[in-house]
Amino acid sequence: MHRDRRIVMCIPAGRRGHMEILLQLLTSKHYNTVVDRVQFWMNTLDEADLAWMHDYKTTKDPNDWVELIRPPKGTVINPRILWHSVCKFYRYARDADTVYVKVDDDICAIDTLERFVAFLDFRIDNEEYFLISANVLNNAILTHYHQRFGNFKTDRGIVRYDSHDRLGLWDGQFAEYTHEQLLDDELDRFRGNFPRCVILQDYERICINWVAWNGEDMALFAGDVAKEDELDLTVRKPSSLGRPCAIFGNFVVVHFSFGPQNKHMARTGYLDMYRCKAFGLPHKLEPRNWDTADISTKTVESTIVPEEPIRFLATHSGNDANWRSKKTSVRPTPKSSLIIIPRDTLTPVGDIVLTTPNPSVLVL
């Protein structure tokens, strides 16, 4: 319980090699002192994974923390498009006075319990937002922000403001490069150099690797979610209610890989590294020599109409926060989607709303 709300964590399950890392993180960081129940959404046909879940429930859950949730009768699970059956499980996440936190099974590093509680507080205190996302590393929209704020490098490509960006979601080597920048295990810079809150006021689509909602809100639709749950929960339902989603920047988690990145990431050794870190075992992973690596550094060319000026509102929570750009006519160069907005065009403001009409903007 937290502030008279039940806290239920929902994990679309599940790949045992990833879930053992996530469960170890949740228990070792004492999330079980706040989270009342963990639901394993058994969205798989893999017999070994199903057996692992049953074994975990039987042998490693003496306090009955975990609940095995089977798919509703008639659910068709296609191993090639598992996300199309996840939608059937939201009907189990709509009780009143309950905060639900959906967590991908391949979350491989998480912030402190104190930061998680701050995330829950933000969810409870801001009912005007439909979903609240954590500050997820290896999530295209968040990578775009972090490149803009200087937290991730841009020498291997610019991630556009697009949840399905070619680099940010599809490129396995770029995902590896993202994880390499996390080797020092320091999450502070991703909190300190990022707004506390980013409001997706234009109902932008965002990947839902770690998101929270109020049970009453899911009950408005009786838990009826479309196959494309991400699109439905971040665009369609929020826009129909007039309640955008938001990102809470002060709580950071790390997402291992998206489907198109899986094959490459499985060969990198990073999953073993995160497993060793979770279980407190020594492990050293040497960075790749990117000078000889075969990785695309091309950026997708801008689709901005040259005649249209770019209006860009931005926030920053560093020493010179907060700031916002004036209306400007800065334009992309012909061969690049990178738009540079000089810092001297920014003016201080108070409360911030962040919007990004252009997909690839950096403030320098």
pLDDT for 185 = 63
Structural fold of domain 6-278: Spore Coat Polysaccharide Biosynthesis Protein SpsA; Chain A (3.90.550)
Three-class DSSP labels, 82-130: CHHHHHHHHHHCCCCCEEEEEECCCEEEECCHHHHHHHHHHHHHCCCCC
Residues of the chain with CATH 3.90.550.10: 6-278
pLDDT for 131 = 98
Three-class DSSP labels, the chain: CECCEEEEEEEEECCHHHHHHHHHHHHHCCHHHCCCEEEEEECCCCHHHHHHHHHHHHHCCCCCCEEEECCCCCCCCCHHHCHHHHHHHHHHCCCCCEEEEEECCCEEEECCHHHHHHHHHHHHHCCCCCCEEEEEECCHHHHHHHHHCCCCCCCCCCCCCCCCCHHHHHCHHHHHHHHHCCCCCCCHHHHHCCCCEEEECCCCCCCCCEEEEEHHHHHCCCCCCCCCHHHHHHHHHHHHHCCCEEEEEEEEEEECCCHHHHHHHCCCCHHHHHHHHHCCCCCCCCCCCCCCCCCCCCCCCCCCCCCCCECCECCCCCCCCCEEECCECCCCCCCCCCEEECHHHEEECCCCCCECCCCCEEEC
Dist CA 147 CA 133 (whole Å): 18
Render each residue's pLDDT in the chain as its tens digit; 364 residues.
999 999 999 999 989 999 999 999 999 999 999 999 999 999 999 999 999 999 999 999 999 999 999 999 999 999 888 889 999 999 999 999 999 999 999 999 999 999 999 999 999 999 999 999 999 999 999 999 999 999 999 999 999 999 999 999 999 999 999 999 998 667 888 998 899 999 999 999 999 999 999 999 999 999 999 999 999 999 999 999 999 999 999 999 999 999 999 999 999 999 999 999 999 998 877 777 765 555 443 333 322 223 333 333 333 333 333 333 333 333 333 333 333 444 344 433 333 333 333 333 333 3
pLDDT for 81 = 87
Q: Is the pTM of this model over 0.95?
A: no
Q: What residues are paired with 347 via a beta bridge?
A: 324
With a CB cutoff of 8 Å and minimum separation 6, the contacts of 147 are 153, 154, 158, 159, 362
pLDDT for 71 = 94
Q: What residues are paired with 100 via a beta bridge?
A: 8, 213
- Going by C-alpha positions, the residue among 244, 220, 10 that lies closest to residue 96 is 220
